[in-house]
Copies of this chain bind each other. A is one copy, B any other.
């Protein structure tokens, strides 16, 4: 299965050897595979497949198993280091710009910091009215759409705790239950539809982005005044936001629910 490599990648020229080796890596992703099978699948001679596989193995990018070649230990190392080096914001940027351009709204990205959400970056849309939230802002996580998106994987006890924390005082039982009910709806939808409780008429659509481990690492959102982001507009935009989040997820290695 997997996608047969039909597409003639535009690929940089003058790197056939490298590209073929990386093609091999892509095949091995699907599980251990025999060198001879690689040659067939990728349309190269047995000799070439053999040579590349040996090279990859000598660098520990591949490991030998009784079932053929599998991903090697070097990838464990690189994977961990990549996690430290990768800057999710930078990767997300181009997708955010695209989303902003298409929708005309401001797009935000943020991550969780303990019980808070930190706004990391934004792309200002063409909209005249701008939401004031600036990169760097930190807000109680249960208070913002972005924050709530970051919480979709948490359990209800955590939702309650953070909601209470966000409210500072002691919200009524009814308020808490109402919040949890909303969160359930967001979770079911996979996307947060947020109306600010501050009465400033700010509305947002926020969606979590998942990393290679399937965990929520950041979230993106579109925010504007309810005047612009009407129910109707929201219904139109919601799928777009979600698609953008999915694309960013794919860019950071998310493989989809498994």
Copies of this protein, total: 2
Q: Taking A9-B58, A15-B17, A76-B86 as given, write out 9 further A-B residue pairs in contact, using a Cβ cutoff of 8 Å, ordered by the A residue number.
A: A11-B55, A21-B21, A25-B78, A29-B81, A64-B90, A71-B82, A75-B78, A76-B82, A78-B78
Give A14 to B44 CA distance when docked, in angstroms: 15
What sequence of 0s and 1s flags, for each residue 35-69 of chain A, a beta carbon within 8 Å of any chain B beta carbon? 00000000000000001101110111101110000
Stretch binding the partner chain, chosen from A123-131, A168-176, A229-237, A250-258: A250-258
Nearest chain-B residue to A75 (Cβ)?
A: B82
Instruction: Return 21 A-B CB contacts under 8 Å, by A number.
Output: A10-B58, A11-B58, A12-B54, A18-B18, A18-B21, A19-B55, A25-B78, A29-B78, A29-B81, A60-B251, A63-B86, A63-B87, A70-B86, A72-B82, A72-B86, A73-B82, A76-B212, A77-B254, A78-B79, A79-B79, A81-B255
What sequence of 0s and 1s flags, for each residue 11-35 of chain A, a beta carbon within 8 Å of any chain B beta carbon? 1101111110110010001011000
In the complex, are the beta carbons of B90 and A63 less than 8 A apart? yes
User: A22, A61, A91 — which one has the most chain B CB atoms within 10 A of its CB?
Assistant: A22
**Contact of A85 with B21 at beta-carbon distance under 8 Å, contacts A11-B55, A90-B63 already known:** no
**Contact of A255 with B18 at beta-carbon distance under 8 Å, contacts A11-B55, A91-B63 already known:** no
Asked if A80 is at the interface (CB within 8 A of a chain B CB), the reply is yes
Report A5 CB to chain B, min CB distance, Å.
11
Residues on B with C-beta less than 8 A from A65 are 87, 90
In the complex, are the beta carbons of B14 and A51 less than 8 A apart? yes
Give A168 to B14 CA distance when docked, in angstroms: 66
Neighbour of A253 across the interface among B10, B25, B76, CB < 8 A: B76
Give A255 to B79 CA distance when docked, in angstroms: 12
Asked if A213 is at the interface (CB within 8 A of a chain B CB), the reply is yes
Give A72 to B83 CA distance when docked, in angstroms: 9
Neighbour of A83 across the interface among B29, B63, B64, B79, CB < 8 A: B79
Give A254 to B252 CA distance when docked, in angstroms: 23
Give A79 to B55 CA distance when docked, in angstroms: 19
Report A171 CB to chain B, min CB distance, Å.
35
In the complex, are the beta carbons of B15 and A79 less than 8 A apart? no
Residues on B with C-beta less than 8 A from A19 are 55, 59
Nearest chain-B residue to A50 (Cβ)?
A: B12
What sequence of 0s and 1s flags, for each residue 155-177 of chain A, a beta carbon within 8 Å of any chain B beta carbon? 00000000000000000000000
